[in-house]
Amino acid sequence: MATAAHLISSLPQLSPDVAKWVDSVRELTQPRAIHWCDGSDEEIRELTARLVREGELQTLNPDSFPGCHLSRSNPSDVARVEHLTYICTPNKEDAGPNNNWMDPAQAHTKMRDLFRGCMKDRTLYVVPYCMGPINSPLSRCGVEITDSPYVVINMSIMTRMGRPALERIAREGKFVRGLHSIGELDPERRFIMHFPHELSIESFGSGYGGNALLGKKCHALRIASWQARSEGWLAEHMLIVGLQNPQGETHYIACAFPSACGKTNLAMLIPPDSLPGWKVFTVGDDIAWLHPGADGRLWAINPESGYFGVVPGTNPETNRNAYDMIRRDTLFTNVAMTANNEPWWEGLTTGKPAVDWQGRPYDPARGPAAHPNSRFTVSAKRNPSYSHRSEDPQGVPISALVFGGRRREVAPLVYEARNWKHGVLVAASVASETTAANVGQTGVVRRDPMAMQPFCGYNFGDYWQHWLDVGAKLSKAPRIFHVNWFRRDAGGKFLWPGFGENLRVLDWVLRRCAGTVGANETAIGNLPVPADLNLQGLNVSADALQQLLAVEPGMWKKETAEIGKYLEQYGSRLPAEMTAQLQETARKLGA
């Protein structure tokens, strides 16, 4: 077996810390072989071919879906598991009421017991990766050790994986350690542990995306948010998109929405025909690392290089870019299949399912054909609206930060915060109906501050203070907005068409940033004067518009009281500024 020591001669750029760590994991987990991933196309081709031979992956119709494969998860392992996800800080208070906490020593002992001997008869893969452009000072590296070849293939799409990352780690010395095993896929023996002080992650018992692709939620959000606090930047659950207006000017915005609220759709938005001259460029669809620049602006990179997107609902009307993008070189997880070996999911208007996501003959009595959280993994470069600025080592300057949730009532279509400090309160007050991206009940409203409830690696109280501190450093801070595409009327019907039409709201957002449009100042922030929204060619009635832009004082007094109650649980860690901002809103509401 290739030990790390004997690899040092063939990999002159190997960091001794990586070598030592891999050796200690080898001793603990007892793999049959070790594979150091170099990230080459040939490596991924061979791995894919092997999984097809072994029946782990299924080749989809090579004529209509060339280079596409299907993976089926264990039915008990199809979503993130927030109740089994822990932040292990020496001091419990540092993890905060927003996280499950375990003492680091206790967590390490528990995990060592699970990992001991778990890779017998398996190959241990060493996956070096870089989050962000390989030559960007804003990027950070990690190494994931895993026994799942499915994870390796995903990581090769989602990150800059392989030799250049290993070389960067050797130069920098610092890297995030992620140890992962699928174990026996037993939900009773499943834990996702984070040790922010050690920049390390230990994940056992799940092969599903957010639990197992450790570069994504575990590193780029939970560990990175901690790292960002100590280094003076922000790691956020945000898409990044460039909007070019008919005058030819491009502005970048970053938007945070809870899981499965349409971030991928917004990131790839197609301007409707009735808004000629607009172009949209995608920089990222899920995560943004935001750094204050020397020029007083906030600069963003997307640490990822691919998309791990929700499939159901994707069709030429909702997201033509994604629909086109996933027709080749895409790894599908838990979709259904037609008789013709094409992938199929709910929301497709063509074809019909023959086999469901579990590989059984499709029977509508058993529920949807594709799992509601079925996913595509695909390189960002396959996106027709891919922005070449995604590779810019400096990132892109951000004009506006947009937050939102899935709310049938209360939150209007759009409003602008009074200033950065009020914006931090607005963002901390985000609430949304839960979705299938996490195990648990769907459709109940929960607070999801900055859409980071499942992903912030430390106490939200400290996190909000950090947001206030970052804002204080920005002489040209982005403006902060809140949107709600999901507002419904009394009969439960959506009031706003959403999808491409959301550009009309973003147009107003950009005009606010440019200072070329006024607003209605209300108790909760600044709303559009209805005549200032470009609704040309759109069939939204005056009554619907009135409801979309209404601030109902009764509902908002109740909302403000609920926000206050939610924030109270952060006790002495809650910044006084947040209370002051909330009191200001309450005063304006006459509460």
**Active-site residues: which are they?**
261
| Beta carbon nearer to ligand OXD, 80 or 418 | 80
Could you give phi then psi for residue 195, rounded to 5 degrees? -120, 80
Which of 227-230's residues contact partners 24+ apart within 8 Å by CB, and which partners? 227/140, 227/196, 227/199, 228/289, 228/466, 229/458, 229/462, 229/463, 229/466
Contact partner at residue 251 from Mn ion, ligand OXD, none, CB < 5 to 8 Å by partner kind? none
Contact partner at residue 4 from Mn ion, ligand OXD, none, CB < 5 to 8 Å by partner kind? none
Distance of closest approach, residue 354 Cβ to Mn ion, in angstroms: 31
Distance of closest approach, residue 286 Cβ to ligand OXD, in angstroms: 5
Distance of closest approach, residue 19 Cβ to Mn ion, in angstroms: 33
CA dihedral 313→317→318→320, nearest 10 degrees, is 100
Question: Which residue minimizes CB distance to Mn ion?
Answer: 286
DSSP character at residue 199: T
Distance between CA 352 and CA 338 in Å, rounded? 6
Distance of closest approach, residue 488 Cβ to Mn ion, in angstroms: 24
| Beta carbon nearer to Mn ion, 124 or 228 | 228
331 binding ligand OXD? (CB under 6 A): no
| Beta carbon nearer to ligand OXD, 351 or 440 | 440
Closest CA to 567 of 485, 464, 473: 464
Binding site for Mn ion (CB under 5 A): 259, 286
How many Cα neighbours within 13 Å face the side chain of 109? 5
- Number of residues forming the site for ligand OXD (CB under 6 A): 7
207 binding ligand OXD? (CB under 6 A): no
Distance of closest approach, residue 286 Cβ to Mn ion, in angstroms: 4
Buried b (16+ CB within 10 A) or exposed e, 136-150: bebbbbbbbbbbbbb
Contact partner at residue 306 from Mn ion, ligand OXD, none, CB < 5 to 8 Å by partner kind? none
Residues of span 303-322 touching ligand OXD by CB under 6 A = 308
Distance of closest approach, residue 291 Cβ to ligand OXD, in angstroms: 22
Contact partner at residue 147 from Mn ion, ligand OXD, none, CB < 5 to 8 Å by partner kind? none
Contact partner at residue 80 from Mn ion, ligand OXD, none, CB < 5 to 8 Å by partner kind? ligand OXD
Amino acid at 348: L
| Beta carbon nearer to Mn ion, 43 or 286 | 286
CB 381 within 8 A of CB 330: no
Contact partner at residue 210 from Mn ion, ligand OXD, none, CB < 5 to 8 Å by partner kind? ligand OXD
341 binding ligand OXD? (CB under 6 A): no
x/- mask, ligand OXD, residues 370-409, rule CB under 6 A, reads ----------------------------------------
Kindly tell me which residue out of 132, 142, 162, 210 binds ligand OXD, with binding defined by CB under 6 A. Answer: 210
448 binding ligand OXD? (CB under 6 A): no
Distance between CA 281 and CA 96 in Å, rounded? 37
Q: What share of the chain is helix, strand, coil (3-state, %, to 5)?
A: 35, 20, 45
286 binding ligand OXD? (CB under 6 A): yes
80 binding ligand OXD? (CB under 6 A): yes
CB atoms inside a 10 Å sphere around CB 302: 29
| Beta carbon nearer to ligand OXD, 210 or 471 | 210
Distance between CA 219 and CA 199 in Å, rounded? 9
User: Is residue 331 exposed (0-12), middle (13-18) or buried (19+ Cβ within 10 Å)?
Assistant: buried
DSSP character at residue 478: P
| Beta carbon nearer to ligand OXD, 195 or 308 | 308
| Beta carbon nearer to ligand OXD, 376 or 508 | 376
The DSSP-derived string for 73-91 is --TT-SSB-GGGEEE--SS
259 binding ligand OXD? (CB under 6 A): yes
**3 state SS of 130:** strand
- Site for ligand OXD, rule CB under 6 A: 80, 209-210, 259, 286, 308, 437
